Amino acid sequence: MDNKETNEKVHKEYAALETVPQSERTISFLDMLTTWIGANANNGTWYVGGVVAGATFGGAVLVTLVSNPIAYIIMALIGFIGYKVGTSTMALTRPSFGVRGSFLPSVLNITQFIGWTAVNTFIAAISISFILKDIFGLPAYGSNGSEKTMLIGIAVMSILHLISIATGHKSVKMVEKIGVIFILILGVWETVVVLKQVPLSKIIAWRPPSGKVMDIGSAFDAMAAFSLGWVPAIADFTRYSKSKKASTVAPIIGANVGLFWFAFVGIIGAIGTAVTTGVYDPNNSDPSTIVSKLGLGVIALLVIILTSTTANAINLMGAGISVTNLNKKIKSQTALLE
């Protein structure tokens, strides 16, 4: 085998129906751990934390601690199947739904992952617009003439996304490893800054205004639905894992750590903003809005951009691999880049 053939083999990204041989399973326990911390330490988790804050601080924390481990146990079980069989999540639906029947979950999967990619990209573009305002004086999101600034932000995020999935799961693994280090450092800083501005005692004592209260049942539904969204992507990664623990224990720990932390940041951020401004609106619980209102600065905006990149790497992988279940002729790398 010449060098060209060797490189093609090393960098191969397997399509949905292809079985990954044991010899090419390169994802370790640490790789899987950082991947799922990066997947959940993101803008969407922050946003959902702000939404369930309507159940009060105590209710939101309870919902976060109870509903998510249940969802991620389901994820780990499917992850284990992916490890044993060596194929993607959408390929695993074929025995139950049939060949044509598996097209429906594939289409739904593509839709939800592209949707979350768009949401995260938009939020990150808002952050970029505020950074461009501080550096170059360009109009930030919400100001007159901000459309061009937002387009610049979307273009920047698109480039970062292409880099993150350039070689499939291998580049995703690298991005998550690098990203999680910065997320850990900057996320701690962000949490400390919020709690310095608004004491935890005030956050705990805060109650949402009439008409904005979220009952515990609705909060459970919202959080569980969010967490279950990762389930259809798990086997796309665990089929590359080296061991059973890497395919089950690592995703559970990583996903829960990332979600607990950033949901907590979202909860205290939304409540902190409500305490500071006197207004609580769950529709304005996105990170960029909260960061802007609390005046957390450029570093906080960079966290949002970084977490968007790490989360969307997983989203784009899930969507791209699902496309290859619809048509075997489509190469996995082509599907990812398109």
Q: Which tens digits make up the pLDDT trace of 299-336?
A: 778 888 888 888 898 999 999 999 999 987 777 655 55
Closest by Cα among 14, 82, 60 to 231: 82
Least confident of 114-123, 165-174, 326-335: 326-335
Return the axis-axis angle of helices 147-164 and 298-326, rounded to nearest 10°. 60
Tell me the per-residue pLDDT of 205-225, one tens digit each, with 9 for 90 and over.
Answer: 999 998 889 999 999 999 999
**Structural domain includes residue 4:** no
Average pLDDT, the chain: 87
Domain-located, residue 13:
no
Q: Global pTM?
A: 0.84
Residue 207 domain-assigned (yes or no):
yes
Is residue 20 domain-resident?
no
How many structural domains is the chain composed of? Answer: 1
> Which segment, 38-42, 163-167, 222-226, is predicted with the most confidence on average?
222-226
To which residue do tokens 């937002």 refer? Answer: 150
Cα separation, 9 vs 14, in Å, equals 10
User: Domain span at residue 288?
Assistant: 30-337
277 lies in some domain:
yes
